[in-house]
Chain A
Amino acid sequence: MRIVVAMSGGVDSSVAAALLARDGHDVIGLSMQLYDQQQGEVRFGSCCTIDDLHDARRVAGAIGIPHYIVNFEHKFQEHVISDFVREYAAGRTPIPCVHCNGDLKFASLVDRAQAFNAEAVATGHFAQVAFDEVTRRYRLKKGVDRQKDQSYFLFTLTQAQLARARFPVGALDKAAVREEARRLGISVAEKHESQEICFVPSGEHSDFVGKRAEMPTGVIRDRDGRVLGQHEGVHRFTIGQRKGLGLATGVPLYVVNIDAEAAAVTVGPREALERDTLTASRVNWIAGETPASPIRASARIRYRHREAVATITQVGDDQVHVAFDEAQSAVTPGQAVVFYDGDVVLGGGWID
């Protein structure tokens, strides 16, 4: 089978490509160029830099597959960066990786793959796809390595996208992936993990947003409305943030609310972060079944969040109400809430 592999130059996608090639597939490596490398204002620190493209090319050469760089600068700007800026400007905390997966890797790349007569697109995500013979639907499942599981970032995928998705490393744990890389002689075996947002390698996302959006200054208040300080734009804050508030108070204070329209940030004590409900929009029930009545499931409100049992009720066409059995700290608008039944992803949505 001809399969396109999205190669970032990292260990996981390199091993994914190697495993598919070893299994006799006709593998084509594609690396996405997402930013004009020559402009240099933003240097990607972790993904898709010239070094990474070089690594991807070397790996492809070593395993004997063709490799091409496809230029998705415009699409990346349109789908990922502009959303990232818009969300922060609206006082929310976005997850650009989800858009990159859903709108680039499993949309534009799938289109390209079809153009090249490939039947599937593979990535190095720690996740699994399985076809359910009973429901005749594809299921997205967690990667075998629970510590590395990345199914959270894939909740927007459609049945059509899942049908063409391959996650060759999803059935391995990270140690096995590194071992496989060494065994295959892939030179990136010892490469560092990418952690930060790829187009903001400094981690200073507020500088990145500040250069691209007009952000009014405003005040920081406590929950009683008393002004405690000033701030230089709501994009500098996320719910639950404690550091960098610039407030001199005796007790630790956390951002508990962001009102972008009023350019107002509210702070409070840790317990003020707790919520036992949330609503989420643009919900994707990934297995294709919108539950007719409330369901019980495990919900994850951040990538590294420990799943919490909740009752999920569909309240509109694409909106859900989520009631947790136990209150959760720092429910953050703009992040995703993803629902699980064991290792199966039921669906997810964007926290309002």
Chain B
Amino acid sequence: MSRAYFDHNATTPPDPAVIEAVGRALAEDFGNASSVHHFGQRAKALLDEARTSIGDLVGGEPAEIVFTSGGTESDNLALRGAAEAAEPGGGATGRRHIITSSIEHEAVLNTVKALCRHGWTSTLLPVDATGIVSPASLAAAITRETALVSVMHANNEIGTIQPIADLAAIAHAHGALFHTDAVQSVAKIPVDVRTLGVDLLSLSAHKFNGPKGAGALWIRRGTRLVSTMTGGRHERNRRGGTENVPGIAGLGVAARLGRGKLATDAARIAALRDRLERGILDNVAGTIVNGALTPRVPNTTNISFDGVEAESLLIALDLEGFAVSTGSACSSGTLEPSHVLRAMGLPSHRTQNSIRFSLGAGNTEAQVDALLATLPVVVEKLRTLVRR
């Protein structure tokens, strides 16, 4: 059976050049990047190269990049590291309030919850049915106690793009730091840390054709941050532990390729997404797109199928060779309706009937058309059975 992959927000296939780079680093550049000798220097060179590529991709300096194991660790380092740096004493601000949005990834939401168990307070900014955080809500929520604001750049479930520059400006006007989880926007849309005006930015390699287990946190020069992974003096004392050189080499290649693909692939992927979305709305009755259509990353659409259990639709499509997902991959197996769709105020039937289609460079028009041919049949069958 031929298979088509429409779940690129969960993860992406590594680019052949990435696979080559990871394999070569594993085989030939096994040295510890902290070692002084030849082997260490070769490994270190790979890190430096990757740091430059990531800096170029997000508009930052190589020295502002800290390598991590991925998006979740980057979010943890940003939030916990900034929170600890703000703790009273040592000339810190002593502020203990954090603001985030109700549609963040669990990596942020659960880290905020953890901080709240240690004396922090938090405010979750609401969203309406558009799935976009309003700057006015941040302006209303921010206080002189607010140390940090964290709002994601693009939402992983519905793809909406948040007004980061406006939000960051409000945070800074109140003396707070601003972090954005850009895991779902990097290499999908132009991301520039200076334009966005943020202090901290998380990214993850495997979301843009890099390897799993490698990511980065961009930290604006001069930002006070305490290491959460304590250990050796790696990453300028910000992240202990021997660097994952093969993974980071792959991350660097993916970043370099990602920058190029922004120009070539984004428009094509957007056209495919629009073709899929339009085709579903036109050919499957009882369908509706969740969240605003713009601004949205070009590869994502989230659609509710009236009267269809998303879980069954996902399995039925997989058996037909189409990989999609219900909400985020991290919440599979639970019946909990998506916290994102719930925060948008959607009725429960719509939150439980929703399927996310997320496209990537490997998708073709033929795949989209095949999916469009299959969907009406599968949906009709499921609806007949559910009615019994």
Binding site for B on A (CB under 8 A): 28, 33, 36, 38, 66, 68-71, 73-74, 111-112, 114-117
Would you call B382 an interface residue if the criterion is a C-beta within 8 Å of the partner chain's C-beta atoms?
A: yes
Specify which of A68, A74, A115 is in contact with B385 (CB 8 Å cutoff).
A115
Contact B385 A111 (CB under 8 A): yes
A116 touches B335 (CB 8 A): no
Measured in the bound complex, the distance between the Cα atoms of B315 and A71 in whole Å is: 12
Known: A28-B319, A114-B381, A114-B385. 17 other contacts (CB 8 A): A36-B335, A68-B315, A70-B311, A70-B312, A71-B333, A71-B334, A71-B335, A111-B385, A111-B388, A112-B315, A112-B385, A115-B316, A115-B381, A115-B385, A116-B315, A116-B319, A117-B319
A112 to B381, CA, bound (A): 10
- Supposing A111-B388, A112-B312, A115-B381 touch, asked if A66 and B335 sit within 8 A by C-beta, the answer is no
Q: B308's closest neighbor in chain A, by CB?
A: A115
Q: Is the CB of A74 within 8 A of B318?
A: no
Q: How far is the CA of A69 from the CA of B388 in the complex (A)?
A: 22
Q: A111-B385, A112-B312 are in contact. Are A66 and B334 (CB under 8 A)?
A: no
Q: Can you list 18 pairs linking A and B with CB atoms under 8 Å apart? A: A28-B319, A33-B333, A36-B334, A36-B335, A66-B319, A68-B315, A70-B312, A74-B335, A111-B388, A112-B315, A112-B385, A114-B381, A115-B312, A115-B316, A115-B381, A115-B382, A115-B385, A116-B315
Most chain B CB inside 10 Å of its own CB: which residue of A69, A74, A116: A116
Contacts of A66 in B (CB 8 A): 318-319
Which residue of chain A is the closest to B378 with respect to CB atoms?
Answer: A115
The 9 closest A-B pairs by CB, nearest first: A71-B335, A68-B315, A111-B385, A115-B385, A115-B382, A73-B335, A69-B333, A116-B319, A115-B312
* A49–B315 alpha-carbon span in the complex (Å): 21
Chain B neighbourhood of A69, CB < 8 A? 333
Which A residues lie within 8 Å of B385 (CB)? Answer: 111-112, 114-115
- In the assembled complex, the Cα of A117 lies from the Cα of B381 at a distance in Å of 9
What is the predominant secondary structure among interface residues of chain B facing chain A?
Answer: helix
A-B CB pair tally, cutoff 8 Å: 35
A28 to B316, CA, bound (A): 11
Residues of B335-383 at the interface with A, using a CB-CB cut-off of 8 Å, are: 335, 381-382
Chain B residues with CB under 8 Å of A38's CB are 334
Q: How far is the CA of A66 from the CA of B333 in the complex (A)?
A: 16
Which residues of A lie under 8 Å from residue B312 when comparing CB positions? 70, 112, 115
Interface centre among B315, B334, B381, B382 (most CB of A within 10 A): B315
Cβ–Cβ < 8 Å partners of B315 in chain A: 68, 70, 112, 116
Q: Chain B residues near A70 (CB, 8 Å)?
A: 311-312, 315
CA distance A69 to B311 in the complex (A): 9
Give the distance to chain A from B371, nearest Cβ to Cβ, in Å: 17
A116 and B314 CA atoms in complex are apart in Å by 11
Q: How many angstroms from the CA of A320 to the CA of B333 in the assembled complex? A: 43
Kindly provide the distance from the CB of B179 to the nearest chain A CB, expressed in whole angstroms.
27
Cβ distance A27 to chain B, nearest Cβ, rounded Å? 12
Q: Which residue of B lies closest to A28 (CB)?
A: B319
Task: Tell me which residues across on chain B come within 8 A of A116, comparing CB atoms.
Answer: 315-316, 319
Residue on B nearest A112 in the bound complex, by CB: B312
What residues of A have a CB within 8 angstroms of the CB of B335 in the complex? 36, 71, 73-74
Q: State A117–B385 Cα separation when bound (angstroms).
A: 12
* Bound-complex Cα distance A38 to B335 (A): 11
CA separation between A36 and B336, bound complex, in Å?
Answer: 10
Query: Bound state CA distance, A112 and B385, in angstroms?
Result: 8
A73 to B382, CA, bound (A): 19
Q: Within the complex, what minimum Cβ distance (angstroms) separates B162 from chain A?
A: 29
How far, in whole Å, are A66 and B3 apart by their CA atoms in the complex?
14
Q: Are A71 and B319 in contact (CB under 8 A)?
A: no
Task: Find residues 275-312 in chain B having any chain A CB closer than 8 Å to their own CB.
Answer: 311-312
Contacts of A33 in B (CB 8 A): 333
Q: B316 — which chain A residues lie within 8 A by C-beta?
A: 115-116
**Which residue of chain B lies nearest to A73 when distances are taken between CB atoms in the complex?**
B335
| Interfacial chain B residues near A28, Cβ < 8 Å | 319
Closest residue on chain A to residue B381 by CB atoms: A115
Residue of B nearest to A69 (CB): B333
CA distance A33 to B332 in the complex (A): 12
Taking CB as reference atom, which chain B residue is nearest A68? B315
What is the minimal beta-carbon distance from A287 to any residue of chain B, in angstroms?
A: 24
Question: In the bound complex, how far is the Cα of B333 from the Cα of A162, in angstroms?
Answer: 29
Q: Which residue of A lies closest to B313 (CB)?
A: A115
Q: Which residues of B contact A112 (CB under 8 A)?
A: 312, 315, 385
Rounded to whole Å, the gap between the CB of A51 and the closest CB of chain B is 14
| Least distance between A159 CB and chain B CB atoms (Å) | 17
Report B-chain residues with C-beta under 8 Å of the C-beta of A114: 381, 385
Report the Cα distance A36→B331, complex, angstroms: 13
A71 near B311: Cβ-Cβ < 8 Å: yes
Residues of B within 8 A of A111 (CB): 385, 388
A33 to B333, CA, bound (A): 8
